[in-house]
Amino acid sequence: MPSAEPKLKVAVIGAGLMGHGIAQVFAAAGHETTLTDPDAGVLQAAPAHVARNLEQMRVPADAVLQRLRLSKSLPAAVAEAGIVIEAAPERLALKQRIFADAADAAPRTAILASNTSVIPITRIGERLDPQARSRLVGTHWWNPPHLVPLVEVVRTPMTDDVIFERTVGLLRAAGKHPVRVRKDVPGFIGNRLQHALWREAISLVQAGVCDAETIDQVVKQSFGMRLPVLGPMENADLVGLELTRNVHEILFPDLDASPEPSALLTRLLEQGHLGMRSGKGLRDWTPEAADAVRARLARHLIAASAPGRPTDDSGTAHG
Ligand SMILES: NC(=O)c1ccc[n+]([C@@H]2O[C@H](COP(=O)([O-])OP(=O)(O)OC[C@H]3O[C@@H](n4cnc5c(N)ncnc54)[C@H](O)[C@@H]3O)[C@@H](O)[C@H]2O)c1
């Protein structure tokens, strides 16, 4: 794992699904890392989750856990941090308050980073003074953060160039694959692409073209097989731009362009169907079937991020 960057103290705000994995990545890269969360149960459980992740990856846990500290107090957690990463619930007002508190308590040189999935970073920084705003970036990680290599680093019009590049360098040195997002658009890059696909998928089911299971089969048994080695831009160039344009001429007028969540999604939610956790969402789930999906995903991601795996064409190993 490359490690030319100096070791900073890292504070991670929110020790839930994303926060404990993000803390694990920095602690594994040699940074003293402090996790904070108002939910004492979540906070106390975090080291055990990290230990289990490392065991699954066959990485010795002791040294990593020694660099991982827990704090009940946000100001104490960020007091000496070189970078603060927020992974609290996806609510704008909460994130605005957290960053106001973090900017007050952290050093005036600290990078301030949000792991929001879709909220524009500019909005999260609305309550900060200009100096703190110049240190605010998005770092959008993917679940599970210790296994999925990509992190989208998002700048706002106020973000200082040096802060932006330091964030990219720090993530790269921690073994991640950072990419630069130069405009602060909702959903950044990955979630815009992902949810464009989900909108069309749900729309096809709603229109009766096929059932939800068929959607998953079509994706997994066709273009999904190519995606790990062939991005959409490569694919368009591979088939040629003439064919791409001809397809778009026929297809685009017919694709779902609705600006609202689908009526099918709303109806399912009104009926109490939340997805795997309630036994039914777009598809039906027994607890065993849901566990099997989670286990299959973890096995796949661990294998895909294992040492010795192929590198992409930028020469950067994933992981
Ligand atoms: N789950 C994903 O797949 C995913 C992927 C990328 C980004 N994100 C984003 O990461 C963020 C966290 O998501 P998650 O899935 O880890 O949620 P989560 O609910 O698992 O964890 C959030 C944690 O934040 C804590 N919290 C609540 N108020 C807090 C406060 N004032 N200060 C500090 N911590 C507080 C909660 O107790 C909880 O433990 C969200 O913005 C989410 O959109 C999630």
Q: Supply the residue whose CA is at minimum distance from atom 3 of ligand 1.
A: 143
Rounded CA-CA distance 316/319 in Å is 9
| Model pLDDT, residue 307 | 64
| Model pLDDT, residue 72 | 97
Position in ligand 1 atom list of the atom nearest CA 19: 16
| Model pLDDT, residue 313 | 52
Q: Is-catalytic flag, 235?
A: no
| Model pLDDT, residue 306 | 75
| Model pLDDT, residue 305 | 82
Could you tell me the residue ranges of all domains in the chain? 10-181, 194-271
Kindly give the confidence (pLDDT) of every residue in the chain, 319 residues in length, as a single tens digit, with 9 standing for 90 and above: 445 556 899 999 999 999 999 999 999 999 999 999 999 999 999 999 999 999 988 899 999 999 999 999 999 999 999 999 999 999 999 999 999 999 999 999 999 999 999 999 999 999 999 999 999 999 999 999 999 999 999 999 999 999 999 999 999 999 999 999 999 999 999 999 999 999 999 999 999 999 999 999 999 999 999 999 999 999 999 999 999 999 999 999 999 999 999 999 999 999 999 999 999 999 999 999 999 999 999 899 999 887 655 545 543 333 2
Q: Is-catalytic flag, 246?
A: no
Catalytic residue among 31, 86, 114, 140: 140
Ligand 1 centre to CA of 86 (Å) is 8
The three state secondary structure string of 188-248 is CCHHHHHHHHHHHHHHHHHCCCCCHHHHHHHHHHCHHHHCCCCCHHHHHHHHCHHHHHHHH
Catalytic residue among 191, 195, 262, 273: 191
Q: Is-catalytic flag, 213?
A: no
Q: Is-catalytic flag, 117?
A: yes
CATH number of the structural domain 194-271? 1.10.1040.10
Output the CA–CA distances (angstroms, integers) from residue 158 to 13, 100, 275, in the order listed: 23, 16, 39
The distance from CA 300 to its chain's CA centroid, rounded to whole angstroms, is 17
Catalytic residue among 32, 115, 152, 318: 152
Ligand 1 centre to CA of 89 (Å) is 4
DSSP one-letter code for 33: E
CATH number of the structural domain 10-181? 3.40.50.720
Output the CA angle 139-312-217, nearest 5 degrees. 85
Q: Is the C-beta atom of 14 inside 6 A of ligand 1?
A: yes
| Model pLDDT, residue 317 | 35
Rounded CA-CA distance 286/292 in Å is 10
The distance from CA 139 to its chain's CA centroid, rounded to whole angstroms, is 8
Give the predicted TM-score (pTM) of the model. Answer: 0.93
